[in-house]
């Protein structure tokens, strides 16, 4: 394609809500045959809500929720915001000191003299909580564990909803000959439920990936000879977006994700990824 055709292509992209970094991006967009999608905030809305709180005998449910919510209120994570909102509905949240956040794991802080952590389980759970935890995962939920002074004090389940246009987008990507994958730090049950809803093969679901390992998963697919596009929105996704042959960031995503990407999808609609690939192929004359 001539430089003029490429410029026309990127201009046309802008009209479609695709912010394309430069004309050369169209060439990589044309070439990709595999598309890896982050789950939370990309395929799903990323706006989670609490569906269940389970506490063991002898624990006060409202107290556990209030403590967890207080600590989560200091975090921007979608899980954190869901728990903080739910706790705040019951009243003012207690004060937190010594807040700390570990990406891909959870949060910790001191509330009323007790050390409270919320996140992935650190060790075995007592039977009642273990049942709640695995049951919730099997039903496609995302359970997190509340620990108070080192003791498992509750399981809080949050749920996300798939964006209404994601299934149509996945179908469009397949029509263009791309193999869709789902990549997430969330548990396999929640990941598979989302995959099934949008039409991603269960074998193409990579779950429980720590933030730093997302890029290694992209490299693994590249080592198998795939030309990989990655779509993401989070700080966690930035390295993978940069490593992929083509990085697509959601417009509402974090600045680092947008900076690391080649194309920004201004409307946060996964169907724009289909538009981008179709536009590149048209611009470069591969399809009409
Ligand atoms: P994703 O790839 O879906 O954006 P993350 O890598 O951010 O997921 O998080 C992975 C897992 O770590 C979550 O499913 C949860 O179990 C735990 N986690 C991370 N941040 C928090 C938090 N603020 N509160 C509770 N759990 C958290
Ligand atoms: Mg995300």
Please, what are the domains in the chain? 3-45+161-283 (3.40.50.1000), 49-159 (3.40.1110.10)
**Is residue 284 pLDDT above 90, yes or no?**
no
**CA–CA gap between residue 132 and residue 186 (Å, rounded):** 17
Q: What is the pLDDT of residues 6-38, one digit of tens each?
A: 888 889 999 999 999 988 899 999 899 999 999
> So what's the pLDDT on residue 106?
95
**Atom 24 in ligand 1: residue holding the nearest Cα:** 106
**What's the alpha-carbon Rg for the chain, to the nearest Å?**
21
Instruction: Quote the pTM value.
Output: 0.85
Instruction: Identify the band that residue 177 occupies on the pLDDT scale cut at 50, 70 and 90.
Output: very high
Judge if ipTM > 0.90.
yes
Out of 47, 78, 86, 104, mutate this one to test ligand 1's pocket (max ligand atoms within 8 Å of CB): namely 104
> So what's the pLDDT on residue 286?
62
**Is residue 288 pLDDT above 60, yes or no?**
no
Contact 67, 84 (CB under 8 A): no
Catalytic residues: 38
**CA–CA gap between residue 80 and residue 146 (Å, rounded):** 12
> So what's the pLDDT on residue 104?
85
**Is residue 266 pLDDT above 90, yes or no?**
yes
Instruction: Identify the band that residue 82 occupies on the pLDDT scale cut at 50, 70 and 90.
Output: very high
**CA–CA gap between residue 232 and residue 235 (Å, rounded):** 9
What atom of ligand 1 comes closest to residue 120's alpha carbon?
16
Instruction: Identify the band that residue 1 occupies on the pLDDT scale cut at 50, 70 and 90.
Output: confident
199 lines ligand 1 (CB under 6 A): no
Q: What is the pLDDT of residues 95-138, one digit of tens each?
A: 999 999 998 899 999 999 999 999 999 889 999 999 999 999 99
137 lines ligand 1 (CB under 6 A): no
> So what's the pLDDT on residue 218?
98
In terms of C-beta density within 10 A (0-12 exposed, 13-18 middle, 19 or more buried), how is residue 85 classed? Answer: middle
The rounded percent of the chain whose pLDDT value lies above 90 is: 85
> So what's the pLDDT on residue 83?
98
The tokens for 278 are: 């179709």
119 lines ligand 1 (CB under 6 A): yes
* Cα–ligand 2 centroid distance for 232 (angstroms): 6
> So what's the pLDDT on residue 287?
56
The tokens for 242 are: 């940069």
């Amino acid at each position: 394609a001539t430089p003029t055709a490429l410029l026309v292509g990127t201009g046309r992209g802008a009209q479609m809500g695709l912010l394309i970094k430069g004309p050369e991006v169209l060439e990589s967009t044309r070439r990709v045959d595999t598309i890896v999608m982050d789950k939370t905030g990309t395929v799903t809305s990323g706006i989670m809500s609490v569906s269940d709180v389970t506490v063991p005998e002898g624990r006060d449910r409202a107290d556990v929720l209030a403590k967890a919510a207080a600590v989560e209120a200091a975090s921007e994570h979608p899980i954190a915001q869901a728990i903080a909102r739910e706790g705040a509905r019951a009243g003012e949240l207690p004060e937190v000191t010594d807040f700390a956040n570990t990406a891909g794991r959870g949060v910790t802080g001191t509330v009323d003299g007790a050390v409270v952590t919320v996140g992935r389980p650190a060790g075995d759970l007592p039977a009642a909580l273990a049942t709640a935890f695995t049951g919730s995962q099997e039903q496609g939920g995302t359970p997190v564990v509340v620990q108070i002074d080192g003791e498992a004090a509750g399981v809080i389940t949050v749920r996300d909803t798939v964006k209404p246009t994601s299934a149509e987008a996945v179908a469009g990507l397949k029509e263009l000959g791309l193999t869709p994958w789902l990549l997430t730090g969330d548990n396999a049950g929640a990941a598979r439920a989302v995959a099934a809803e949008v039409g991603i093969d269960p074998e193409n679901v990579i779950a429980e990936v720590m933030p730093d390992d997302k890029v290694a998963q992209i490299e693994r697919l590249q080592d198998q000879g795939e030309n990989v596009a990655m779509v993401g929105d989070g700080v966690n996704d930035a390295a993978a977006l940069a490593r992929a042959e083509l990085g697509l960031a959601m417009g509402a995503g974090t600045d680092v994700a947008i900076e690391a990407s080649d194309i920004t999808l201004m409307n946060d609609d996964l169907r724009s990824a289909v538009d981008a690939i179709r536009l590149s192929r048209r611009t470069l004359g591969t399809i009409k």
